[in-house]
Structure 1
Amino acid sequence: MALNLEQKKAVVSEIAQVAQEAHSLVAAEYRGTTVDALTTMRSEARKNGVYLRVAKNTLVKRAVQGTDYECVQEALVGPLLYAFSQEDPGGAARLIKTHAKENELLDVKFVSIGGELLPGSELGRLASLPTKDEAIAQLMAVMKAPIEKFVRTLAEPHAKLTRTIAAIKDQKAV
């Protein structure tokens, strides 16, 4: 069913709004993928903060004009599934990577992050980026490490003295 002009404008404005706020974009060719597989993927996308959309390439070209994803306009060829990460940069990549393992027909064409167009082979690198919670935990561990080392250094002379006295006590008890 063909879209009328108003429906096309609505699709373009919706995708443009998502593209303005998105952290990354993954595009995959979905030819031959079953409806059940796409429905499952859409359900997981909603749970993980990923905007998943199948749209005409001409509409997506118009939608990404003036955004960081303007660089992908030349790569929009064939039936593509667009996944925009809205919460963390690796969200869409993790989703597509998981489903590409289960479905050989899902072929990643390109990845875009920070205004840069990358080949589909870079999907693994993008998927390996930590989530927001993981990044905060790593940052806190790095910030906490010097303090922990300082406290251990301050406590070590007392601990060594205690161990020495205990060893002398054990030696005299024999």
Structure 2
Amino acid sequence: MAEREYPAGKQTAIAELADDFSNATATVLTEYRGLSVAELRELRRSLGEGTRYRVAKNTLAKRAANQAGVTGLDDLFVGPTAITFIEGDPVEAAKGLRNFAKTHESLVIKGGYMEGKALSVDEITRLADLESREVLLAKLAGALKATAQKTASVLAAPATQVARLGAALQDKKAASGE
């Protein structure tokens, strides 16, 4: 089957979407039917830095995804579709989408794509349940600091014991008059 030739404006839109797909660490597709412009603005703000929420025509988005090597999403490009392009922390964006969908039933998460594979709605929900990268790094730093402090205490203990033993011997020697 021959590839459909699009007018210049649509070719530009496909190229921009393909760039978005290529540059994103993850993408999430949603249906936004019934959301007002103000609600869409609120959603965009709730997604965090490095995340773009973009409404796109399904045929153009499907073509762009395929051009970018993003596979497994073709069945999701039905109905009014918006794509969340995540260049930052996917956990933060997934949390934002999940939380917004809880309070706005009109937002329906369809699925997504991350690290070379399509994601189901359940996988996106599990991603949203994770702690953010910053929290995990802080916990790791705290654990490393505690381990370093314990190590320093263990290494310092023999020196402290030797010093105490030396002091005790000196006291005993002084008490015995030697």
TM-score interval, smaller chain: 0.7 to 0.9
Give the structure 2 partner of residue 42 of structure 1.
44
Structure 2: gaps of 5 or more residues: 1-5, 165-178
Pairs aligned (count): 157
Q: 1:25 is matched by which residue type in structure 2?
A: T
Which SS does the other structure have where 1:28 is aligned?
Answer: strand
Give the structure 2 partner of residue 110 of structure 1.
111
Asked whether 1:22 is paired with 2:24, we answer: yes
1:7-32 CA distance string (max 9 Å, x none): 21221111111111111111111111
1:74-93 → structure 2 map (5 Å cutoff): 74-93=75-94
Q: Is the 8 A contact 1:24 1:90 kept in 2?
A: no
Q: Is the 8 A contact 2:54 2:83 kept in 1?
A: yes
Give the structure 1 partner of residue 145 of structure 2.
144
Q: Is the 8 A contact 2:71 2:117 kept in 1?
A: no
Which SS does the other structure have where 2:72 is aligned?
Answer: helix
Which SS does the other structure have where 2:30 is aligned?
Answer: strand
| Superposed displacement of residue 38, structure 1 | 0.5
1:25-58 CA distance string (max 9 Å, x none): 111111111221012222344x521111110111
Asked whether 1:120 is paired with 2:116, we answer: no
Which SS does the other structure have where 1:69 is aligned?
Answer: coil
1:45-100 CA distance string (max 9 Å, x none): 4x521111110111011111243522212321111111011112224312211211
Structure 1: gaps of 5 or more residues: 162-174
Q: CA RMSD in A?
A: 2.5
Give the structure 2 partner of residue 169 of structure 1.
none
Q: Is the 8 A contact 2:53 2:84 kept in 1?
A: yes
Q: 2:114 is matched by which residue type in structure 1?
A: I
Asked whether 1:62 is paired with 2:37, we answer: no
| Superposed displacement of residue 5, structure 1 | 2.2
Larger Rg: 2
Structure-1-length-normalised TM-score: 0.76
Give the structure 1 partner of residue 15 of structure 2.
13
Q: Is the 8 A contact 1:28 1:82 kept in 2?
A: yes
